[in-house]
């Protein structure tokens, strides 16, 4: 539905503007601060900071899209926002979108996530939009993108949806062409001729384009300058590599419809240490809240160092961190609970033995 302009309101704004120009310099002025966020976006940014380490630009881009939509300043004929996240694997692109859902709806799964690796062939697009009448499978193939699915997580306070196209470079050209219409006019026609409205949707696309070159650059080093200078130069070079790769892959029509292209920077060891703290805290909450036998645990510094060594790689970022946590903490604790060695509200300490193996024990005052 096109946006209708109230002629009376337009005339009033024009009059006020003329009056302001005439009286300029003769009326008291109150300086405004455009850097102050709304309370909702402040909470969203706090959620981002508690779940995502670094990547300030990406977090701010999503916060700006939410604030523009809430203020009514988003383009009424296009999606509420769209952004392409570029960067190497394990830098947090998908996790940032999950944090957006957590911050807005209290549920990191409150989105539609499309794994673009499942749409490498043109005919597979029917899984998204359904088959037209008369085609084989018309009745059996239910479209994934429906108005009901988009509005599933709407609330009275916030009618906004999140649509994630993960690793979009792996999909066929058919999906990119489909997105052209969505990004331009915020609408999509399904196989049964139903029209879907995307004006209340933030669309996020992630891609690992240029990752091979970025890996080579990250492992090859950039000289003998100071670490902070090296980091700034590296991030600048990674930005150029990622954006050039995206421009080569996508058509100009597609690239020009994007509101923002953001490159995720490579993670430093200190950043991964902070990510490990977040992951351990989430594990702690999981065991306390969901375990049949609630208990607490503390991971000593020596054990954290081993997990960090196994879970961090300059090429793959924090990709292996969850795997290291699963191996070193989750599986052993699961066995201890299943074998009856942990009682209710026990306090478990996780440490390393002299030979490097992990050891688990209950603090004496909790035995």
> DSSP label at 144?
S
270-366 CATH fold:
Helicase, Ruva Protein; domain 3 (1.10.8)
Q: Are strands 201-207 and 296-299 parallel, antiparallel or unpaired?
A: unpaired
Tens of pLDDT, residues 313-351: 666 666 678 888 888 888 888 888 888 888 887 888 888
DSSP state of 188: E
For the cut 80, the answer to whether the pLDDT of residue 210 exceeds it is no
Q: What is the pTM of this model?
A: 0.77
* Contact criterion met (CB below 8 Å) for 115 and 293: no
pLDDT per residue as tens digits for the range 272-288: 888 888 888 888 877 77
Residue ranges of domains in the chain: 39-266, 270-366
Mean pLDDT along residues 23-31:
65
| Residues 151-175 pLDDT 10s | 888 888 888 999 999 888 888 888 8
Architecture category of domain 39-266 in CATH: 3-Layer(aba) Sandwich (3.40)
pLDDT of residue 229: 39
pLDDT on residue 316: 61
Q: What is residue 293's three-state secondary structure?
A: coil
More confident residue, 177 or 5: 177
Mean pLDDT taken over the chain: 79
Instruction: Give which of 292, 291, 235, 268 is closest to 86, Cα–Cα.
Output: 235
Per-residue exposure over 48-75, b if at least 16 CB sit within 10 Å of its own CB, e if not: beebbbbbeebbbbbbbbbbebbeeebe
pLDDT of residue 281: 87
The mean pLDDT value for 307-314 works out to: 78
């Amino acid at each position: 539905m096109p946006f209708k302009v109230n002629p009376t309101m337009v005339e009033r704004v024009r009059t006020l503007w003329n009056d302001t120009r005439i009286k300029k310099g003769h009326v008291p002025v109150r300086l405004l601060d455009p850097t102050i966020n709304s309370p909702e976006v402040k909470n969203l940014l706090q959620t981002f900071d508690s779940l995502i380490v670094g990547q300030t630009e990406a977090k701010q881009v999503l916060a700006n899209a939410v604030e523009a939509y809430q203020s009514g300043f988003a383009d009424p004929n296009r999606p509420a926002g769209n952004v392409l996240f570029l960067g190497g694997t394990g830098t947090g692109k998908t996790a940032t979108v999950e944090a957006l859902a957590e911050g807005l709806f209290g549920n990191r799964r409150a989105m539609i996530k499309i794994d673009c690796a499942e749409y490498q062939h043109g005919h597979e697009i029917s899984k998204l939009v359904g088959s037209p009448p008369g085609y084989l499978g018309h009745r059996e193939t239910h479209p994934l993108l429906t108005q009901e699915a988009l509005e599933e997580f709407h609330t009275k306070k916030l009618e906004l949806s999140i649509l994630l196209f993960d690793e979009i470079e792996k999909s066929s050209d058919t999906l990119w062409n489909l997105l052209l219409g969505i990004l331009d006019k915020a609408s999509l026609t399904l196989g049964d001729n139903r029209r879907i409205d995307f004006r209340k949707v933030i669309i996020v696309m992630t891609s690992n384009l240029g990752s091979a070159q970025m890996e080579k650059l990250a492992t090859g080093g950039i000289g003998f300058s100071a670490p902070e200078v090296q980091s700034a130069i590296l991030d600048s070079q990674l930005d150029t590599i990622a954006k050039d790769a995206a421009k080569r892959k996508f058509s100009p029509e597609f690239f020009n419809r994007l509101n923002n292209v953001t490159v995720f920077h490579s993670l430093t060891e200190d950043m991964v240490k902070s990510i490990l703290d977040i992951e351990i805290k989430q594990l702690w909450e999981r065991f306390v809240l969901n375990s049949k036998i609630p208990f607490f645990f503390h991971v000593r510094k020596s054990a954290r160092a081993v997990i960090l060594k196994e879970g961090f790689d300059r090429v793959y970022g924090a990709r292996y961190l969850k795997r290291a946590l699963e191996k070193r903490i989750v599986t052993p604790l699961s066995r201890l609970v299943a074998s009856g060695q942990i009682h209710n509200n026990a306090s478990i300490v996780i440490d390393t033995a002299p030979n490097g193996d992990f050891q688990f024990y209950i603090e004496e005052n909790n035995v």
